[in-house]
Amino acid sequence: MTSLTGPGRAASADPVGTPARRGPLGALRALWRGRANRPTGLLLVSALVTVVLLLPLVFLLIEARGAGVGRVASLIDRPLTGQLLWNTVRLTVVVTALCAVIGTGAAWLVERTDLPGRRIWAVLLVVPLAIPDFVISFGWASLSTDVSGFRGAVLVMTLSVYPLVYLPVAASLRNADPALEEVAMNLGQGRFQVFWRVTLRQARVAVLGGCLLVALGLLAEYGAFEILGYQTFTTEIFTEFSVSFNIPTASALSLVLIALGLLVLAGEAAVRGRSRGSRVDRGAQRGTGRHRLGGWTLPALLALALLAALALGVPVGSAVYWWADGTQHPFTGDSLLDATWHTALYSGSAALLATAMALPVGVLAVRHDGRMRRLLERGAYLVLAMPGLVIALSLTYFSETYADGIWYQTAPMLVVTYAIMFFPLALVGVRASVAQAPPGLEEVAHSLGLGRPAVLWRVTRPLVAPGLAAAFCLVFLSAVTELTATLILVPTGVQTLATQFWNYQQNLAYGQAAPFALLMIAITAVPSYVLGRFFDRLPGRAAGQ
């Protein structure tokens, strides 16, 4: 490691414009080391974080090795696996394609046309993201038994996750250089050709990034499919683990699921290639010209209204309906309060931990370059391919095997699992925040006579704080609505909002489940909107991938 952080990395750096190798953490480190020329400490801490992130994967592999390749192969090589593979893959492909079309189309309508009420649409179209998938699923399935199986899963999942494509594409279209479209029109291209050959090209990375998140989310989803009675790898693994206690089978299937996730990651990287939109930045950006919809205004409005009604109106309406219906039953105010407290406790701790873990990696990613850095970043990236269920299983297996099960179903284990699961989200926030505090500002502060502690307090802290808060919120909100890993790891006798909802829902006690669903929506929807605004205001590049 020393050789990588030594002369090798320094030689590859640009000798003239090299920024000082100092970050918020680096500066802290420099306090006791006296100088901060090489980010050795930062690299060490980041390496440690990456190791923790990859622990679940390592445990799984160790377990598979222990069981023997032949046994694992025999567990996988069953007709059931083929059925699961078919179910998982066709759903992933169809929903991802639908989301790409709907998300991109909606983003184009809102950002690039003269559609009336664009600001309201921008909010309404994003809010479904804040509603847990299993609540949307519950909303639909509790209204009609027809919503089930493959078709039901396609409908519900598309409505739940299309904002994952909408959001990045909208941001990308908003920041896109309007000059490119003008040049294309100037070269005699029609409106459709301009959209296809220029606008979409510019938004391509964003569309792909959104599709990646959609596909990975589908691989990891449990609750929604369980409600709809649609069998995928994740539901099967869950059943094997928690109903049959068949850990070897669950682990073997987990390996296949991770392989699928890695395949998705690799596929996205391959399609995206090295193409990045570049723009010669000179001065302020001109406002983007908007296309006139003309006679298409009404159909476009109707389409968006339909989308919002299906994705937002049905689940919320359904929950409210069941809540009103359920008031005949005794209301469980105490359990609601208790579940809220535990949800906040676990999610808050996980958000703190994930943000703290993301800090060194983020500082390294934004401020330094080098082989080690890229290696660490890629390691952290692999976490995306690991569903929460698999992380929970793997950590459970580890505690059972090596620690006599003392950590199983304890708060720390749940918090660590959340932190690993949502680390990529925290990293997005941290990267954005570190980019807000370029090293040049710290240098200027030093030259004005401030020592390191004063610089940290008067410059770095105020600049970085909003982004770190955003990272915290991203993880917090995701943890609040997490169901799968929570069901496995939640301490015995404790309920969170998600698990309590799930228990009532499983017992068909819709009236009692509804308040929990509504509370989760209330907790997540408003902060999500605020968060969305925060990331919108950042310059395009700062927000990272």
Partner 1 sequence: MTDLRATLSATPSATPSATPGASPGATGPAAEPSRAQGVTITGLAKAFGAQPVLRGVDIEIPRGSVTAVLGSSGSGKTTLLRMLAGFERPDAGTITIGGTPVNGPGRHVAPQDRHVGYVPQEGCLFPHLDVAGNVGFGLPRARRKDRVPEMLELTGLSELADRYPHQLSGGQQQRVALARALAPDPALLLLDEPFSSLDAFLRTSVRLEVLRVLRKAGTTTVIVTHDQDEALSSADQVAVLRHGQVAHAAPPLELYTHPADAALARFVGDANLLPGTVRGGRAETALGALPLADGAPVFAEGEPVLVLLRPEQLVLLSADAAGSVPGTVTQRDFHGHDTVLTVDTPASGALTVRCAGAADLAPGTPVAIRATGPVTGWAQPA
Name which of 29 and 204 has its Cβ closer to partner 1. 29
| Binding residue (CB under 8 A) for partner 1 from 3, 16, 188, 333 | 16
Q: Is 31 in the site for partner 1 (CB under 8 A)?
A: no
Q: Is 303 in the site for partner 1 (CB under 8 A)?
A: no
Piece of the chain touching partner 1 by CB under 8 A; list 56-64, 161-169, 445-453, 511-519: 445-453
Q: Is 247 exposed, middle or buried (0-12, 13-18, 19+ CB in 10 A)?
A: middle
Distances (CA, A) of 143 to 34, 53, 305, 321, 371: 66, 40, 20, 10, 54
Backbone φ/ψ region at 449: left (φ over 0), alpha (ψ -120 to 50), beta: left
Piece of the chain touching partner 1 by CB under 8 A; list 61-69, 342-350, 451-459, 475-483: 451-459
Name which of 436 and 499 has its Cβ closer to partner 1. 436
CA atoms within 13 A on the CB side of 338: 10
Please report how close the Cβ of residue 178 comes to partner 1 at its closest, in angstroms. 20
Please report how close the Cβ of residue 422 comes to partner 1 at its closest, in angstroms. 28
The helix-helix angle for 163-175 and 200-220 (nearest 10°) equals 160
Name which of 71 and 533 has its Cβ closer to partner 1. 533
| Binding residue (CB under 8 A) for partner 1 from 97, 440, 526, 533 | 440
Name which of 447 and 492 has its Cβ closer to partner 1. 447
| Binding residue (CB under 8 A) for partner 1 from 451, 506, 507, 530 | 451
DSSP for residue 310: I
H helix count then E strand count, the chain? 29, 0
CA nearest to 375, candidates 38, 28, 51: 51
Helices in 68-177 by DSSP H: which ranges?
A: 69-76, 79-112, 118-124, 133-141, 149-161, 163-175
Please report how close the Cβ of residue 447 comes to partner 1 at its closest, in angstroms. 4
| Binding residue (CB under 8 A) for partner 1 from 49, 156, 385, 459 | 459
Is the distance from CB of 403 to CB of 286 less than 8 angstroms? no
Positions in 32-61 near partner 1 (CB under 8 A): 35, 37
Q: SS3 helix, strand, coil % of the chain, rounded to 5? A: 80, 0, 20
Residues in the interface with partner 1 (CB under 8 A) total 30
Q: Is 469 in the site for partner 1 (CB under 8 A)?
A: no
Q: Which SS3 state, helix, strand or coil, does residue 380 take? A: helix
d(CA 433, CA 429): 6
Q: Is 448 in the site for partner 1 (CB under 8 A)?
A: yes
d(CA 64, CA 79): 20
Please report how close the Cβ of residue 91 comes to partner 1 at its closest, in angstroms. 46
CA atoms within 13 A on the CB side of 349: 13
| Binding residue (CB under 8 A) for partner 1 from 28, 450, 469, 542 | 450
Q: Is 280 in the site for partner 1 (CB under 8 A)?
A: no
Name which of 283 and 287 has its Cβ closer to partner 1. 283
Please report how close the Cβ of residue 466 comes to partner 1 at its closest, in angstroms. 9
Strand-pair partners of 291: 113
Please report how close the Cβ of residue 463 comes to partner 1 at its closest, in angstroms. 6
Q: Is 400 in the site for partner 1 (CB under 8 A)?
A: no
Name which of 336 and 469 has its Cβ closer to partner 1. 469
| Binding residue (CB under 8 A) for partner 1 from 259, 306, 444, 530 | 444
Q: Which SS3 state, helix, strand or coil, does residue 291 take? A: strand
| Binding residue (CB under 8 A) for partner 1 from 88, 142, 417, 436 | 436
**Contacting positions for partner 1 (CB under 8 A):** 7-8, 10-11, 13, 15-18, 20, 35, 37, 283, 436, 438, 440-441, 443-451, 458-459, 462-463
